[in-house]
Amino acid sequence: MPRLALLQSGTFATKAQSFDHHETLIRKAAAEGANIVVTQELFLTPYFCTVEDPALFDLADTLPGPVTDRLGKLAGKLNIVLISSLFEDRGPGLYHNTATIHDADGSLMGIYRKSHIPQDPGFEEKFYFTPGDSGWPVWNTKFGKIGVLICWDQWYPEAARLMALGGAQLLVYPTAIGWLAAEKSILGEAQHCAWETVQRGHAVANGCYLAAVNRTGHEGETEFWGRSFIANPYGEIIAKASTENQEILLQDIDLLAVEDFRRIWPFFRDRRIDSYGDLTKLWRS
């Protein structure tokens, strides 16, 4: 039973400060028995997408590069699978919201580029991120088969299903989501309920574990709601962080239970793949 650690954290003034802080968290999680460690979305930077500012593209890093070198050394030294969410500078004028996956020997297994890009007040992501083209890879790590998706991806059952069909036993979602001050009193708990519920549904529909790791604290008009959580294949929340605290959320996960669940609830067996062609259309007219 591998132990999963979600690093729920706030924001720091510089990338160097954030990296040092998260290295401390990663080492602490490993010392507490973690085998798989996951950062929040864009862990090295503030959530800069609250505004449209071309100067903020300077926050991006070339991947692979010095950042992944440092992460890989950490993963190898600590014998952990390390999943990190970063701002990628891919080429002139081309940027992605990207997760890197290091195996427990420190090797960079690959990357996942965020596929679904939101555009809302306070979440101006289409200005910064090109939709990902990395497909739906599943990483056969030392500690299990893991599908990595990012934030807005977590609302899409198609993305979760494609990862599960690739063999994923665990879905992880680095996340940065919160309340806008003007909406919180009216919609705050309803918004959170929707976010949590849809992901618990992905765990059930795909018979796998699911983990979402969110930011905490305030940035501009946004209050990140924290509440990182881990759900089992029945959709039960088996670990959950607070709203306001920076913390390491630890939970052992029973990967053998994934196969047991899929035998009892054979959703993959009973799928009518012969009749789903219209799912590839934008709309059924």
User: Sheet of 3-8: strands edge to edge?
Assistant: 108-113, 94-102, 81-91, 36-39, 3-8, 247-252
Cα–Cα distance, 189 to 13 (Å, whole number): 29
Cα–Cα distance, 36 to 194 (Å, whole number): 27
Cα–Cα distance, 126 to 129 (Å, whole number): 5
HSE (CB half, 13 Å, CA atoms) of 4? 32
Contact, 144 vs 170, CB < 8 A? yes
Catalytic residues: 41, 114, 151
Cα–Cα distance, 124 to 48 (Å, whole number): 9
Q: Which two tokens stand for residue 127?
A: 């200005």
Contact, 110 vs 148, CB < 8 A? no
- For the chain, helix, strand, coil in percent to 5 are 35, 30, 35
Cα–Cα distance, 122 to 52 (Å, whole number): 10
